[in-house]
Structure 1
Amino acid sequence: MTDQNLARGVFLAAVSLAFGLGAYMHYPLGTFNRAGPGLFPLMVSSLLLVIALAMIVRSRFVAPIAMHFSVKNIGLLMVALCGFATLSKLLDMAVGITFMVFVAGFAATSYSFKRNCIISASLIAVAFGFQHLLGLNLPLF
């Protein structure tokens, strides 16, 4: 039996190591006074590695939980992400966000149209904030 808590910690550690080593090997780090492009990803991945190690240690002290996969939910999330990318490229990012939220909502334990509308509106508002406040070039309207 594979322990779900241990698997989460190991997967998070692998992702954090991949990004951290990629930042360290491919980008200059600079210093804290004058940060290079690799410093921020290295710091974030280091914090994720600390969290992953805590999860791995914690998995040794709690009862193991059997790991199970729902192929339907994985498929729904993949369709939601691919649809978001396609619709954002072809139509508009707001349409892509809305599609992603409503399709991913089918993977939840309960489906709520109202909740999906609130999440979609919130994510579109965040995207507008990124576009207008940070000056990112996002295809919104």
Structure 2
Amino acid sequence: MKLTQDVVQGGLFLAIGMAALLMGLDYPLGTPGRMGPGFFPIMISALLALTGIGILLRARLGMSELIRLARSMPLFIVSGAIIAFGFLLDKLGLPLAVLLLCIGAATASVRFEWSWKAVAGAAVFSIVCGILFVTLLGLPIPLVGSWLPVLGAP
């Protein structure tokens, strides 16, 4: 079987559905009239796995488009920016980590150009994220990370 979009999508649906189904089997199923905590996850994951099987059958019987890896570098750049965000969040704080994430992910675009407007927009977005998530929602994420000295500290 050739590696087509349907094969990848069907395989992904089947794998996620089967993994969720196996996890759902740890919970009591119950009956349709008196559902247990595992009833809904098992039914949804079984439907997802069946959808994956259906897509794989369509890939086997029909003609779906082959996957082209012509531009795989943006995938690695954006993934790297997200991983760097995860590692730098505690070290730099939320606003600086978001700023680096925005700028890093933006470099994946073929239309990316350094400009003060883009950096200013990313800076404003990172400040808004800090205010929204830390101040207003109260998430336990540092605004200033451990790598940065706290302003006004002796």
The TM tier, using the shorter chain, reads 0.5 to 0.7
**2:107 aligned partner:** 106
CA RMSD of aligned residues (A): 4.7
2:139 to 120, 123, 136: 136
User: Aligned runs of 1:64-83 on 2, under 5 Å?
Assistant: 64-69=64-69, 70-83=71-84
User: Which structure would you say has the larger Rg?
Assistant: 2
Structure 1, unpaired ranges of 5+: none
In structure 2, C-alpha distance between the alignment counterparts of 1:55 and 1:84, rounded to whole Å: 37
The two structures have a TM-score, normalised by structure 1, of: 0.57
Greater fraction of residues in helix: 1
**2:52 aligned partner:** 53
- Report if aligned partners of 1:8, 1:55 keep a CA contact under 8 Å in 2: no
How far apart are residue 106 of structure 1 and its match? 2.7
**Do the aligned partners of residues 3 and 85 (structure 1) sit closer, same or farther apart at CA in structure 2, a change above 3 Å counting?**
same
In structure 1, C-alpha distance between the alignment counterparts of 2:6 and 2:127, rounded to whole Å: 29
In structure 2, C-alpha distance between the alignment counterparts of 1:132 and 1:29, rounded to whole Å: 39
- The residue type equivalent to 2:15 in the other structure is A
In structure 1, C-alpha distance between the alignment counterparts of 2:92 and 2:49, rounded to whole Å: 40
In structure 1, C-alpha distance between the alignment counterparts of 2:14 and 2:136, rounded to whole Å: 35
Number of aligned residue pairs: 132
After superposing on structure 2, the runs of 4+ consecutive aligned residues of structure 1 that deviate more than 6 Å are 112-116
In structure 2, C-alpha distance between the alignment counterparts of 1:94 and 1:136, rounded to whole Å: 13
Say which SS state the counterpart of residue 107 (structure 1) adopts: coil
Structure 2, unpaired ranges of 5+: 145-154
Say which SS state the counterpart of residue 139 (structure 1) adopts: coil
